């Protein structure tokens, strides 16, 4: 593996925790803040911090405490609230050689079957699939959960009653008693590179979330590759409000330590409550790097714009505006850069990126670390309104030689690379590849162990994402998911990625609909479901709803040529989402068709005519360009069907 660290005195380490042991005793790092946890209060912003030395000592002390109860290789369910204690636990698990299973803690007072939400179902999934040895949570949370499940005899209650519960406060209280790290540290006994360190679940955008096994070595390789790609240094300051339980939010905790940087944390709830908080944190801490899902940009413009607060914004220090969660629309970025130009934001900081849980998280970015590169935003190319997520380099150049992560666009039927300009499935091969799906060997073989036709080299991960490579610099555009390709139901019977239909639908009535809360799917007709911005009593009645439905139908027809057959308008918060804020189209479709999601208003269109009036719920009936063939569409549906069994 290529040495990619910034200082030859500290060569690459096999696992992330080994970096922490180094920084914790270095004079220039030991008193430096590693993580800062912020809270947004009416009286103003407050925060607490932990230095590299304190985090190193905490990891050592917590690891010792964990090994008093658990054995190396046991799995531990992390049900802690986001914050510094969760950070400590993630590093102490690696130092103890314990498998961390981070899960967002569901409401402890809603464990009765009638009150449970998606978080409870996910907890049941994690406990039943991973079979953790113990769980760690806040003391009050443990008391609330054990009290709630004591009178229940259902499966979740039974599983939770069998768990050994550990108090994070007890583990944390032992930290001050730990001896200061020695300048001659004892032999490292934590996770080895090949040991499973983490079970992280996929987001659930295309099917029930799946448990991905991540080794300590794969996680270290992934964050080293990301550090190199974004050119992060000890002087870097990261701001992140992403969930700390999986994917980018979790990996940026590890990335911070590998880079010797400082990471400022906030909760996703705080951002959603007040999007401007994100921009104020960038200003307050002179942030140089921030990872956000692409949907955060229009949300920040609408609810946190330049004139939405009293604190002046200063964004000139930002060097990496990392955009994740494809698709990445150029119009969103243009609007954001224009809105905050007066705050000094540098357009060249825009870093469209691509990642997935099956490769730990990071895969690629189109942001060039070379300051003199002429293809930085706003000069980046665009394809079908999307920004690229990788720059693979020309075939004749050395840019792609020795790449840490190999990306190929493949014909799924032949397993051969397609020509540039032809859409196919994105395959990824690297030392960051996860080990597979826990408890699903056949699906692991299908997704993780494929090779290019005639090849004998590395195994690839079949991402299920569709992409196309274009231009001399071979930019990769992530165009959508295999399972989200839908028919336009017009005279041409073409296929289009669902996000294009959703964007056209939202744009047709953007003042009445919630951004990022529109889903489209195919069920013998083209169906669009959209959340209303306001409640029913505030919106204006049936006439307004009818106009919205007509606008959606006409907007989709004009933009994508699609013939919408059914529009369902639903209340705020009705469309299920992942922890990272992405709509779960498959689950929204399921709920609408089975009648458990009740539209405020629905309209059916037959031959272009508005046929239906308001209903209490959806009952009865069902439910650009050269995107994909019918066979590809069917393969996507087959894969979604297969994943639904997990």
Specify the pLDDT at position 559.
Answer: 93
228: nearest Cα among 123, 367, 40: 367
Least confident piece of the model among 408-417, 501-510, 562-571, 629-638: 629-638
Number of structural domains (the chain) is: 1
Specify the pLDDT at position 396.
Answer: 59
Q: How is residue 493 annotated by DSSP? A: -
Specify the pLDDT at position 6.
Answer: 47
Q: Residue 112: which pLDDT band, with cuts at 50, 70 and 90? A: confident
Asked if residue 619 has pLDDT above 50, the reply is no
Q: Residue 540: which pLDDT band, with cuts at 50, 70 and 90? A: low
CA atoms within 13 A on the CB side of 595: 6
Specify the pLDDT at position 610.
Answer: 58
CA atoms within 13 A on the CB side of 470: 17
Q: Looking only at Cα atoms, what is the longest distance across the chain?
A: 78
Report the CATH number at residue 535: 3.30.300.30
> Does residue 598 belong to any structural domain of this protein?
yes
CA atoms within 13 A on the CB side of 423: 24
Q: Residues 526, 562: contact at Cβ < 8 Å?
A: yes
Q: Can you tell me the distance from the alpha carbon of 94 to that of 162, in angstroms, rounded to the nearest whole number? A: 25
CA atoms within 13 A on the CB side of 472: 3
Asked if residue 156 has pLDDT above 50, the reply is yes
Identify the H or E element spanning 323: strand 320-324
Specify the pLDDT at position 2.
Answer: 40
Least confident piece of the model among 58-72, 140-154, 376-390, 607-621: 607-621
Least confident piece of the model among 38-42, 188-192, 285-289, 585-589: 188-192
447: nearest Cα among 437, 435, 461: 461
What's the whole-number mean pLDDT along residues 485-511?
89
> Does residue 194 belong to any structural domain of this protein?
no
Q: Residues 288, 236: contact at Cβ < 8 Å?
A: yes
Least confident piece of the model among 271-275, 534-538, 588-592: 534-538
- In the chain, % of residues over pLDDT 70: 86
Q: Residues 336, 298: contact at Cβ < 8 Å?
A: yes
Query: Quick one: tokens of 205?
Result: 């955008």
Query: Higher-confidence residue: 10 or 434?
Result: 434
* Angle CA 207–212–215, to nearest 5: 165
Least confident piece of the model among 162-171, 241-250, 327-336, 362-371: 362-371
Regarding beta strands 350-355 and 289-293, do their DSSP bridges make them parallel or antiparallel, or are they unpaired?
A: unpaired
Q: Can you tell me the distance from the alpha carbon of 381 to that of 376, in angstroms, rounded to the nearest whole number? A: 9
Q: Residue 173: which pLDDT band, with cuts at 50, 70 and 90? A: confident
Q: Can you tell me the distance from the alpha carbon of 178 to that of 59, in angstroms, rounded to the nearest whole number? A: 10
For the sheet containing 405-411, what is the strand order? 390-391, 475-481, 461-470, 424-430, 405-411, 416-417
Specify the pLDDT at position 151.
Answer: 66
Regarding beta strands 320-324 and 350-355, do their DSSP bridges make them parallel or antiparallel, or are they unpaired?
A: parallel
Least confident piece of the model among 148-157, 375-384, 414-423: 148-157
Alpha helices in 189-320 (DSSP H): 216-230, 247-259, 268-273, 276-284, 296-304
Q: Which residues contact 545 (CB under 8 A, 6 or more apart)?
A: 539, 569, 600, 601, 603, 614
pLDDT per residue as tens digits for the range 357-374: 999 999 999 998 776 576
pLDDT per residue as tens digits for the range 18-72: 999 999 999 999 999 999 999 998 888 999 999 999 999 999 999 999 999 999 9
Specify the pLDDT at position 397.
Answer: 55
Q: Residue 539: which pLDDT band, with cuts at 50, 70 and 90? A: low
What's the whole-number mean pLDDT along residues 327-354?
96
> Does residue 567 belong to any structural domain of this protein?
yes
Specify the pLDDT at position 552.
Answer: 97
Specify the pLDDT at position 219.
Answer: 98
CA distances from 62 to 66, 252, 253 (A): 6, 21, 18
Specify the pLDDT at position 413.
Answer: 93
| Structural domain of 601 | 495-624
Least confident piece of the model among 70-74, 307-311, 559-563: 307-311
Distance of CA 415 to the CA centre of its chain: 28
Least confident piece of the model among 160-164, 316-320, 536-540: 536-540
Asked if residue 613 has pLDDT above 60, the reply is no
94: nearest Cα among 63, 61, 131: 63
Specify the pLDDT at position 556.
Answer: 96
> If you search the block for the tokens 């299908």, which residue do you land on?
446
């Amino acid at each position: 593996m290529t040495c990619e660290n910034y200082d030859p005195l500290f060569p690459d380490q096999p696992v992330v925790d080994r970096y922490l042991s180094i920084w914790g005793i270095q004079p220039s790092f030991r008193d430096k803040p590693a993580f800062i946890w912020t809270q947004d209060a009416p009286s103003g912003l407050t925060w607490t911090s932990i230095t590299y030395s304190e985090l190193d000592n905490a990891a050592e002390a917590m690891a010792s405490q964990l090994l008093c109860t658990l054995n190396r290789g046991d799995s531990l369910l992390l049900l802690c609230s986001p914050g510094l204690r969760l950070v400590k636990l993630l590093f102490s698990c690696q130092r103890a050689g314990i498998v961390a299973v981070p899960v967002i803690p569901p409401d402890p007072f809603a464990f009765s079957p009638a009150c449970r939400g998606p978080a409870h179902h996910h907890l049941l999934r994690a406990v039943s699939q991973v079979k953790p040895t113990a769980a760690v949570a806040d003391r009050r949370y443990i008391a609330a959960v054990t009290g709630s499940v004591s009178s229940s005899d259902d499966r979740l209650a039974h599983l939770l009653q069998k768990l050994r519960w550990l108090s994070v406060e007890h583990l944390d209280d032992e930290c001050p008693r730990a001896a200061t790290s020695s300048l001659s540290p004892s032999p490292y006994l934590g996770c080895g590179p090949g040991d499973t360190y983490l079970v992280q679940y996929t987001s659930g955008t295309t099917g029930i979330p799946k448990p991905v096994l991540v080794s300590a070595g794969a996680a270290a390789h992934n964050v080293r590759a990301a550090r190199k790609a974004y050119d992060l240094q000890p002087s870097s300051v990261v701001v992140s409000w992403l969930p700390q339980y999986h994917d980018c939010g979790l990996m940026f905790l590890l990335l911070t330590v590998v880079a010797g940087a400082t990471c400022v944390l906030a909760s996703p709830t705080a951002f959603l409550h007040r999007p401007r908080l994100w921009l104020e944190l960038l200003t307050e801490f002179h942030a140089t790097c921030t990872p956000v899902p692409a949907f955060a940009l229009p949300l920040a413009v609408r609810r946190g714009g330049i004139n939405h607060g009293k604190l002046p914004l200063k964004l000139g220090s930002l060097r990496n505006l990392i955009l994740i969660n494809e698709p990445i629309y150029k119009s969103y970025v243009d609007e954001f850069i224009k809105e905050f130009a007066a705050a000094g934001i540098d357009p060249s900081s825009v870093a469209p990126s691509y990642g997935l849980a099956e490769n730990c998280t990071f895969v690629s970015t189109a942001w060039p670390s070379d300051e003199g590169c002429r293809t930085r935003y706003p000069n980046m190319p665009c394809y079908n309104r999307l920004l690229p997520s990788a720059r693979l380099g020309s075939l004749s150049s050395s840019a792609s030689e020795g790449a840490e992560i190999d990306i190929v666009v493949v014909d799924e039927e032949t397993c051969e690379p397609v020509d540039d300009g032809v859409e196919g499935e994105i395959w990824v091969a690297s030392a960051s590849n996860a080990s597979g799906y826990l408890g699903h060997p056949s699906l692991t073989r299908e997704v993780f162990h494929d090779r290019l036709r005639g090849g004998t080299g590395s195994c690839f991960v079949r991402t299920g994402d569709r992409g196309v490579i274009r231009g001399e610099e071979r930019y990769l555009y992530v165009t959508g998911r295999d399972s989200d390709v839908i028919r336009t139901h017009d005279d041409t019977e073409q296929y289009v990625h669902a996000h294009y239909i959703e964007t056209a639908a939202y744009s047709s009535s953007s003042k009445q609909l919630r951004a990022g809360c529109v889903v489209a799917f195919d069920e013998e007709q083209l169906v669009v479901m959209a959340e209303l911005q306001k409640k029913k009593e505030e919106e204006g009645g049936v006439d307004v709803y009818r106009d919205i439905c007509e606008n959606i139908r006409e907007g989709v027809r004009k933009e994508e040529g699609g013939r919408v057959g059914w529009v369902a308008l639903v209340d705020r918060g009705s469309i299920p989402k992942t922890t990272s804020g992405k709509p779960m189209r498959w689950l929204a479709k399921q709920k609408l068709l089975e009648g458990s999601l009740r539209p405020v208003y629905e309209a059916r269109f037959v031959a272009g005519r508005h046929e239906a009036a308001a209903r209490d719920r959806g009952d009865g009936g069902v439910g650009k360009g050269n995107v994909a063939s019918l066979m590809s569409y069917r393969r996507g549906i087959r894969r979604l069907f297969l994943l639904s069994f997990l």
